[in-house]
Chain A
Amino acid sequence: MSAIPPAGLRTQHSGLQKVFSPTDLLLNSEHSLCPGCGEPVALRTILELIHDLGVRDRTICVAGIGCYTAFPMIMDVDVMQALHGRAPSVATGVKRVRPDAFVFTMQGDGDMISEGLQEVIHSAARGEQFTAIVFNNAVFGETGGHMTAATVLGQHTKTSVGGRNRERHGNPIKISELIAQLDGTAYVARAAVHTPSAIKLTKQYLHDAFRSQLDSKGFSLVEILTMCPTDWFVTPDQGPAFLETKLIPTYPLGVIKS
């Protein structure tokens, strides 16, 4: 078995130019999530935009409960940790007492669409001036692969063995289309992080959502489809294709309301 050369030696001999480094709002370059997970890419994109928009000093993130609950401790912005499903009401309280703050929530599909559906609907209808971000991987990731309200028909989970079945398990909820119907919403889009071009669009949609909050236009929501190879029971390299072929037919990408 050959020894791996020390890091310094490798860069010295690489002759490669550094063209990318993570934003300094990411406090270390590590995360504790699984290989192939889509959430870290989404987080990096969010933090890059906070940096680019110059709103870091007045940013307040309200985090839900899921795998991404590991993120607050590595984000150099103020974070209020909410309970599972409750981020929209907590963010409402935050934004109402700090109207000059830039406020966004991070929830997963289990958090927002299963546990806390009422919260996001009422916040949207009230036109609360924050941006709700939902990482939708169509599965309870942190508990180890159980069906959420966003699990797609046919998707195998530990509680929909053999695939989600309409008669037995009901139908998935398309949160973006649901929220877009409400009068208080200014911007709704669905993005994904499974390809470089999709990540670029994710950044564009997030930018437009953030911009609409900064212009006080109303409630904004960006649904980001993220890979969860562990709980899709595929290998990390199969994650992007799974997202493309299994999720996107139910959850088409694009701007739904602007």
Chain B
Amino acid sequence: MSERVLMEGSAAMAEAAIRAGCRFYAGYPITPSTEILEYMSVRLPEVGGTCMNAESEIEAIGMVWGAAGCGVRAMTASTGQGISLMQESFAELANAQIPVVTINMCRGQGDYFQATRGGGHGDYRFILLAPASAQEAVELAQLAFYLAEKWRNPVMIMGDFLLSHTSEIVEFPPSTYPALPPKSWAITGAKGRRGITLSPLGPSEKLSTDLATTLARVIDKHAAIKVEEVRVDTGYLDDAELVVVAFGFPGRFVKYAARLARDKGMRVGYVRPITLWPFPSQVIADIADRVPAIAVFELNAGQMIEDVQLAVLGRAPVHAIGGISHDHSGFGVGPLLSVEYILKRIEDVYPRKAKVA
């Protein structure tokens, strides 16, 4: 059994990535993702890997592109602002089917749209994982490299200031994921074979120009990922009169608030999507058929609520109980992230008929 250690979330994720086989990291310092770069710059050389303190986020993702395209497990990290700069490469990495992993340590939760929709061009998708604790982040970091190579699709892990900077007890379980097929797509030098091209612009075979088929293959994966890769944490759903949906670190606060609400006699359940794409739409759709009301707690002006509404399709009222919430720096945790506040908002929207029961 692996040892239990006290680590900041960002360092724990970096260590988990290395243990998952990550041997190349490139990043540009930006709060609150900087600690990942710091950790990698010390730890990666110890295991024979390379850490690049890139001169911009655009170059960081370019370097990761090159390393991952050679078949090496490679990662970058940033926050929403730096992620904005990487969008062109993100879009085309998906088209080129290069399995990069990105950690996106957001400032608050205002970058949900950016992360789930993507700010780049074209019909691409990132698999998006949203851990709520350092331990889950460790496990999702391991999963991220597996999923990226399984689907040949980029994977992003979306955290926040709290996850990055909170020290928690973690352990690093050994990987139990099955072996993946050889990376015949990787650029290695064409020893003993015809050269190949790894490109977002067309097929890998020389003299072929069939871009349409190549892109169709990229898009066809999306349906299969939606079926196979949904992950969600739920609780107290069986008798719930109100279900609160929340993601990431605030999802832990909601879980606790749901318990307190039950102590007060309100039958509150929770849904915490672990994969934001694919979104657990079916889980929420099933709830909407039998629960009087749904609420969404997120620290932004209302972003994930659109995915919830799409799943509910008008079958139940969907209440926004979060909001924009920043501290004075704009980086950290704002006043709305409090169990008392969440509880009060739950009381505000709890279905009236259940309250008198």
Contact = CB atoms under 8 A, between A and B. Distances in A.
Interface of A: 27-28, 56-60, 62, 69, 72-83, 86, 88-98, 101-102, 118-119, 122
Contacts of A58: 189, 191
Q: Which of A59, A82, A88 has the most CB of B within 10 A?
A: A82
A81 B204 CA distance: 10
Contacts of B62: 82-83, 86, 88-90, 92-93, 119
Contacts of A98: 70, 188-189
B215 interface: no
18 contacts: A28-B207, A57-B189, A57-B191, A58-B191, A59-B189, A60-B189, A73-B197, A75-B195, A77-B190, A78-B190, A80-B69, A81-B197, A83-B88, A88-B62, A89-B63, A90-B66, A119-B59, A119-B62
B195 A81 contact: no
Interface stretch (B3-11, B33-41, B48-56, B129-137): B48-56
Given A79-B195, A89-B54, A57 B92 contact: no
Given A77-B195, A78-B195, A93 B202 contact: no
B184 interface: no
A62 B197 CA distance: 10
B260 interface: no
Interface residues of B, number: 46
A92 B64 CA distance: 9
Contacts of A81: 96, 197-201
B58 interface: yes
B273 to A, nearest CB: 31
B304 to A, nearest CB: 30
A93 B190 contact: no
Given A73-B208, A81-B200, A122-B59, A97 B67 contact: yes
Nearest to B209: A73
A56 B190 CA distance: 7
B206 A93 contact: no
Given A28-B207, A57-B191, A57-B192, A93 B197 contact: no
